[in-house]
Structure 1
Amino acid sequence: MKEMSLEELWQLYPIILKDHNPNYQSWYAEEKQRLLHILHDYDICRINHIGSTSVEGLIAKPTIDILLELPKYYAVNDIAQLLQNDDWILMQKDDKQRTLDLGKGYTPNGFAEKVYHLHVKPLGDWNELYFRDYLRQYPNVARQYEALKLGLKERFEHDRDAYTYAKSDFVMEQSQKAKLEFAGRYLPPEH
């Protein structure tokens, strides 16, 4: 794919929200098995389906978010290369935090049928897990989140960063409530 400006990318890949698709879970399971196969030589601590597609009944961008957790000092560059060899697009790499963000399903003509966003992080007590669990536990909060997303989609359809930023206060507030209610649920065991 040719080099594109952020504005061109946002036009090609706008914010799209769809009703929950019952296939999301099987698409996640399929990609999880693929990741386990590709990374079979590495110690995968946890792998989880996160984001709105992991919450049954919730309107979502039709993108399967996956959180892949590895040991604290995993080989960031080796993992990035293996995933890129499997058609994952490296979108962001943070050497200090030891995180990778990758995408799959972004074609020169727009989105493929199955689109994935892979978050690779060291094993941790991540907000994404708590937020998912909170939305599953409290359907009224999930409906509030859905209403927020629908309103933001109208304003930021072609500005993914602004859309994400505008949701951040709500996501952080609910994640903090979840961490209080589900305290320690995802704390890594002490080594």
Structure 2
Amino acid sequence: MDVKMKGIVRVVPYEPEWKNEFLKIKAMIVDCAGDLITGVEHVGSTAVEGLASKPIIDIDVVIDSYDVFPDVKDRLSKIGFEHEGNLGVEGREVFKRTFIDDFMPYNLYVCPKDGKGYLEHIVFRDYLRTHPEAVKVYGELKVRLAKQFRTDITAYINSKHEFVQSILKNIKK
């Protein structure tokens, strides 16, 4: 990742309330574009029970193909989302909210169902959900890296990359 991001890296213990927050955001997305999408998935660390995380929900809005993307983009813009492009990750379109809403912080991505980014999100999430020992190791790594790179989110993300890739490689074997 070449983009330098700013902010304090904060990793906190798992909160059961994250599931409910996701469901509220999902309901808004389904209400907006449910007829155009194939699903809304809670991905990332907040989707894994017991895993320490940055308190930001990651959401993949799944589309059948890029054929419907223009319509999804248009609908999301009507409820206050701005398309930011893929930000360097093929098969994942990033959207940001253009105003403060009542939800906890979240990242919203629109992904084709066969896109590499989406498939890796799901495989990694599902692996962690069924491997508590990996959750423990990953959580400890994240807490350590958050302390080490408190003001450098880019270094924090890059430092987690090796762990994530090692899990993905083992799954593909």
TM-score with structure 2 setting the length: 0.82
| 2:63 alignment partner, one of 52, 57, 70 | 70
Aligned residue identity for 1:166: S
Partner of 2:34: 40
Residues 56 and 106 of structure 2 are in contact (CA less than 8 Å); yes or no, is this contact kept in structure 1? yes
TM superposition outliers: structure 1 runs of 4+ over 6 Å: none
Larger radius of gyration: 1
Question: Are 1:23 and 2:13 matched, yes or no?
Answer: no
Q: Distance in 2 between matches of 1:83 and 1:162?
A: 31
Residues 17 and 61 of structure 1 are in contact (CA less than 8 Å); yes or no, is this contact kept in structure 2? yes
- 1:90 CA displacement: 3.6
Residues 105 and 113 of structure 1 are in contact (CA less than 8 Å); yes or no, is this contact kept in structure 2? no
CA RMSD in angstroms comes to 2.8
- 1:83 CA displacement: 2.1
- 1:102 CA displacement: 2.3
Residues 50 and 129 of structure 1 are in contact (CA less than 8 Å); yes or no, is this contact kept in structure 2? yes
- 1:104 CA displacement: 4.3
Which structure features the higher share of strand residues? 1
Q: Distance in 2 between matches of 1:72 and 1:117?
A: 21
Partner of 1:130: 123
> Which runs of 5 or more structure 2 residues have no equivalent in the other structure?
none
| Percent sequence identity over aligned pairs | 26
Partner of 2:154: 161
Q: Distance in 2 between matches of 1:156 and 1:116?
A: 21
1:96–1:128 CA distance, 2 compared to 1 (3 A): closer
Question: Are 1:10 and 2:31 matched, yes or no?
Answer: no
- 1:18 CA displacement: 1.2
Please give the secondary structure, in 1, of the residue aligned with 2:104: strand
Residues 103 and 115 of structure 1 are in contact (CA less than 8 Å); yes or no, is this contact kept in structure 2? no
Question: Are 1:147 and 2:159 matched, yes or no?
Answer: no
Q: Distance in 2 between matches of 1:155 and 1:106?
A: 32
Q: Distance in 2 between matches of 1:28 and 1:113?
A: 9
Equivalence map 1:76-155=2 (5 Å):
76-93=69-86, 97-104=90-97, 114-124=104-114, 126-155=119-148
Partner of 1:176: 169
> Which runs of 5 or more structure 1 residues have no equivalent in the other structure?
1-5, 181-191
Q: Distance in 2 between matches of 1:76 and 1:94?
A: 16
Q: Distance in 2 between matches of 1:147 and 1:154?
A: 11
